Amino acid sequence: MFDPPDFPAATPALRFDSGGASLLGVLHVPAGPGPHPVVVLLHGFPGNERNFDLAQALRRAGYASLVFHYRGSWGVGGSWSWGHALEDTAAVVAALRGLAAAHRLDPERLALVGHSMGGFAALMTAAADPSVTAVASVAGFDFGTVAAHCRADPGVRASYVEAFAGELAPLQGTSGEALVGEMEAAGDSWRLAGLAPRLANRPVLLIGTGLDPVTPHGVHHDPVVAAYRAQPVERLEHHLFATDHALSDHRVTLARTIQDFLARCL
């Protein structure tokens, strides 16, 4: 007869309260008594790539990993905005610490890994929360830099209004114009290079994508790397992969790179 393990792997569905909405998440818990280091995976805009392959790879490597949806996205209540995504990320990180005992998590070893807009959210959240142990941004979108480009060139601004409007099918409560306006209002406070002083003593991984029209590395990756090297961010690791925005043909390389980074800092 098969004897079940005392501490089996599990995949509980979780809910998190943020801004009056109930966010939906899935936690991937490894087998074993733990407590396990935990990684929050932050998807981008609108979230077509949700990085469940990374969640499973991280669980196999011994990390608990969480994937969740921000408010106003994929059936979650509330309205979508960039600011709400930042608030939701902070709320989830805080709530996970309260759930640590129930799910065999180690809240002292918590990392954020984000893709595209999620990379922006990961860096912004880590900069605001010194208790985040490590942070990784994959094809991170630099909203502060893009906001400056939009303010300087009406044609660029119009192109972003159109591009954002074309991605709204799984989202609610916003528009392309509203999203560009919010980005412009935040301005330089959302420029990723400016976060360097608050990340200076923590491990930071930046991954750029060389064949990517969404976050071209010359705009969204190279200047951030240069700023973090100049600060310096003492434990900076950075890579530029010859792939598209979703890292479609680099998913195994991506998983291994993130696992190696986390092994050194968690």
Domain of residue 32, CATH code: 3.40.50.1820
The pLDDT assigned to 170 comes to: 98
The pLDDT assigned to 133 comes to: 98
**pLDDT (tens digit, 9 = 90+) per residue, 190-234?**
999 999 999 999 999 999 999 999 999 999 999 999 999 999 999
The verdict on residue 252 lying in a domain is yes
**pLDDT (tens digit, 9 = 90+) per residue, 113-168?**
999 999 999 999 999 999 999 999 999 999 999 999 999 999 999 999 999 999 99
| Residue 249 structural domain | 13-144+193-265
The pLDDT assigned to 57 comes to: 98
Q: Is the pLDDT of residue 5 over 80?
A: no
The verdict on residue 60 lying in a domain is yes
Query: How far apart are the C-alpha atoms of 233 and 230, rounded to whole Å?
Result: 8
- In the numeric block, the tokens 């392959």 are attached to 53
The verdict on residue 89 lying in a domain is yes
Residues β-bridged to residue 203: 235
The reported pTM is 0.97
Cβ 41 vs Cβ 245: under 8 Å: no
Length of the chain: 266
The verdict on residue 171 lying in a domain is no
* Residue 96: count of CB within 10 angstroms of its CB: 22
**Number of folded domains that form the chain:** 1
